[in-house]
Amino acid sequence: MGGMTVRQKPKFSVAIQTDGYQKLINNTLGDPERAKRFVASITSAVAVNPALQDCDAGTVLAGALLGESLNLSPSPQLGQYYLVPFKVRVKDADGRVVYKTDENGNKLKDDKGHWIAETETKASFVLGYKGYLQLAIRSGQYADIDVMEVKAGEYLGKDKFSGKPKFEFVEDDDERDELQVIGYMAYFEYLNGFKKTLYWSKQKMLKHADKYSAAFNAADYEKFINGEVAEKDMWKYSSYWYQDFDGMAKKTMLRQLISKWGVMSIEMQSAITKDDSFANASGGEVVASGADDIVTVDAADVQPEYVGAVSQVNLADL
């Protein structure tokens, strides 16, 4: 049987200007000025990321509206949340994978003899560690909260009575910048005075990433940071765990700290749930080039659900 023709959808820069999208955005946000700012900010964010421009426009909009509902900025420079491109295998009406075929209907194969599946690129909302900080501060429960790298010589071990980690930080910033990262520390203090500090060594963080991120390998990371990866293979290292290990580590520390001991607002709970929807689905092969994190996953495993005003958006109608 011949392959199914995959319908080409308009790129985001075109779709965002259509009457259907404009009406959707205005109805969802309810404020023309807010809608205008939203369109400008998300258009700018997509423009600087070529991989996002090739994504299904509806998924870009859905992720951006989720970020807007949390009052977070899509600017990559601010790092509050990201729209991460990933590829999903196209399936037909019966749930079967659609494969590429030649003009005679014969399935095409790659150089390893595997059938080549039709894919489409979608975008998913991924919360950054600065987004976690923003949501926590906004809850009004924290007198202080932060996360940082711990440099060589700063970790002094655990208190022998309480088990709490002890630190002595280097005061000279220039000197500290030159020191090797050996771990990560996150802490918070409630308004009522309760405090909690969490420390993980970099080795523990590497093991965590190696276990929970299918796109990351600890042994390959060493090759990557030592410049031992050939240019033709760099696309394999496009995961954020390779491109920004410290940023991902700080996000992990905040998640661990807040989810176990912190107060989570409804906003925070929603953001973590949506962040998890991508983390649980992105267990496939990274196929991007450059620093863009595109992951190939099974379409059946990607069922994002959006909260608040975004849940009322029917993107299939656009």
pLDDT tens-place string over residues 190-222:
999 999 999 999 999 999 999 988 789 999 999
The reply to whether 7 falls in a domain is yes
If asked whether residues 113 and 58 sit together in one domain, one would say yes
If asked whether residues 89 and 2 sit together in one domain, one would say yes
Which pLDDT belongs to residue 1?
46
Number of domains in the chain: 2
If asked whether residues 73 and 152 sit together in one domain, one would say no
Which pLDDT belongs to residue 220?
94
The reply to whether 134 falls in a domain is no
Which pLDDT belongs to residue 278?
54
If asked whether residues 160 and 172 sit together in one domain, one would say yes
Which pLDDT belongs to residue 94?
85
pTM: 0.74
Which pLDDT belongs to residue 299?
35
Q: Which residues of the chain have pLDDT under 50?
A: 1-3, 280-318
**Class of residue 105 by CB neighbours under 10 A (exposed 0-12, middle 13-18, buried 19+):** exposed
Which pLDDT belongs to residue 310?
35
If asked whether residues 259 and 171 sit together in one domain, one would say yes
The b/e string for 244-259 (b: 16+ C-beta within 10 A; e otherwise) is bbeebbbbbbbbbbbe
Domain that holds residue 241: 140-263
Which pLDDT belongs to residue 163?
93
If asked whether residues 254 and 275 sit together in one domain, one would say no
Structure-token pair, residue 168? 């002595």
Of 224, 242, 263, the residue that ends a domain is 263
